[in-house]
A = this chain, B = another copy of it.
Amino acid sequence: MNRIEIYDTTLRDGMQAEGISFSLQDKLLIAKCLDDFGVDYIEGGYAASNEKEMAFFHEAANLGLKNSLIAGFGNTRRASASLEEDLSLKAILNSKAPVATIVGKSWDMHVTEVLRCSLEDNLALCSDSTAYLKSKGLRVVFDAEHFFDGYKHNPQYSLKVLEAAAAAGADVICLCETNGGCLPRDVYEITKTVADAISGPIIGIHCHNDTDCAVANSLAAIEAGARHVQGTINGMGERTGNANLCSIIPNLKYKMGYEVLKEGALQKLTEVSRYVQEIANMQPVANMPYVGDSAFAHKAGLHVNALMKNKATYEHISPEMVGNARKLLISELSGMSNILAKLEKYNLSNDRDLARKMLDKVQEMESNGYQFEAAEASFDLLIKKTLGTYKETFHLVKYHVNVERSGSGEKTTEATIKLTVDGETEHVVSEGDGPVNALDEAMRKSLERFYPSLADMRLVDYKVRVVNAKAATAAKVRVTIESRDKNDIWGTVGVSENIIDASWKALKDSFEYKIIKDAQESR
């Protein structure tokens, strides 16, 4: 069998990540997205845990999912409860999910020290819980918790647990590397033993990233015979995270030649990753393999030069294969090839004269501390200025920033801005938490009647870096600002020996970029 089942647990195990919590609405949006993407299973949550979890299952049933089956998660029954009265099993049945995923103990130490029942009793719990759910017509995934650690301590017992679940009719036996401490070699060997010993159910793998090997461990299990893999979008999850499906899926498809999802799904991978990131309100991780913003970014002049000759020189796959894009960074190591490659995006790479002027300008600005790699919008404005197509959207008459602190710690921060737009003057004052915030507020206040669409723009990140640290507080600072609106994210940059003025320059570029962008779109 050459097809691998993809089981997503973003909504259950992913939610164990520090700082992550999903509303019911968030969960429904992600489920819809995962179904469009085409994963085989969506684990919706721990059915017995609370009302919100249960509400998800009931509303998800009405989403009209086309590709994915919803799975309800729970434990094997408690030793003290009957099958019919066990809360966890009852909740799974009440969820009406077509798939039940139950977690059973497969490490003897956990049975005796945590569950505190006999090893024999635990086998019965695993067996009868599985058989009971099967008798209700559900597809059953049996998650063998701590399987690998358990196997290392007591292989016979761990295998017995799997045999009990298999004999009771489990459709999938999933080996969980719960503590994340294994390396690929162990995972391969142990999974191979299981695949040889257990026939009937599909073997699955569920890894965590504590040794930085969750992806490699998942692939090792598949090489050893597993055909079902569990993980989360962006590797979200407790501690160091779950195995990252955004890496596993393209590796399976492009590197190992397995069938996964449906034809064409991989081209949506980057979009899926960023969508979940947005909903989870996670900090973007630029260097995430395949889907990160920097995953196909090239900085060194030599590399860029080689890429122009042949893309395979410094790219392992083409970024389009995962819906991502190549990025050529303008850096202190910039050369002509970087500039030409950038201009390609604007269909201007044939204009050698423009390229030469841009190179001179960029090099001059770089030597003054500018960096455009996180500031595409400032670069875009620079092209317009060099081409002569730039038209000022507003004209600053002056700004003024005032910060005061008394001995008792009381602070006042105020910014005034005076500017003109098409001959009309605005002169406003705003307060703020700090000087940049006050400037930002004053800018909005002064520009909003001319450019109402500024209302949907907001600053999302603000970075400061000293450019020449030797001169310390008299050195130059580079401020990079990231802004966004409904559709886009853009970066701008400003440099000055004065941090307020550097911030002002980056802010000004951000406002201008937004205004020009909206004017073009409305044309």
Contacts and interface: CB of A to CB of B under 8 A. Distances in A.
A333 to B, nearest CB: 7
A70 interface: no
Given A180-B316, A396-B407, A434-B498, A25 B470 contact: yes
Nearest to A52: B332
A281 interface: yes
Given A404-B401, A498-B413, A114 B437 contact: no
Contacts of A395: 407
Given A399-B405, A463-B281, A435 B498 contact: yes
B402 A397 contact: no
A310 B501 contact: no
B21 A183 contact: no
Contacts of A316: 179-181, 210-211
A509 interface: no
Interface of A is mostly: mixed
A281 B128 CA distance: 54
Interface string A232-253: 0001011111001001100100
Given A211-B247, A459-B472, A504-B405, A19 B286 contact: yes
Nearest to A244: B212
A131 interface: no
A300 interface: yes
Complex copy number for this chain: 2
Contact residues on A (Cβ < 8 Å of other chain), bracket: 35 or more
Contact of A296 (B113, B239, B293, B475): B239
A385 B521 CA distance: 58
A470 B251 contact: no
Interface of A: 16-19, 21, 23-26, 49-50, 109-110, 113-114, 178-181, 183-185, 209-213, 215-217, 219-220, 223, 235, 237-241, 244, 247-248, 251, 255-256, 281, 283, 285-290, 292-300, 303, 305-306, 309-310, 312-317, 327, 329-333, 371, 373-374, 395-407, 411, 413, 432-437, 439-440, 458-466, 468-470, 472-475, 477, 481-482, 496-501, 503-504
A497 B113 contact: no
Given A240-B294, A400-B403, A110 B306 contact: yes
Given A398-B405, A433-B473, A460-B472, 17 more contacts: A18-B293, A18-B374, A25-B469, A25-B470, A109-B313, A179-B316, A211-B255, A212-B251, A213-B213, A235-B287, A397-B406, A398-B407, A400-B402, A405-B504, A435-B500, A461-B466, A462-B466
A313 B113 contact: yes
A312 B146 CA distance: 11
B397 A497 contact: no
A400 B404 contact: yes
B472 A461 contact: yes
Given A210-B316, A215-B212, A289-B240, A474 B434 contact: yes
5 contacts: A18-B327, A181-B316, A213-B216, A411-B501, A433-B473
Contact of A19 (B210, B248, B290, B373): B373
| Centre residue among A178, A297, A313, A473 by max chain B CB count within 10 A | A473
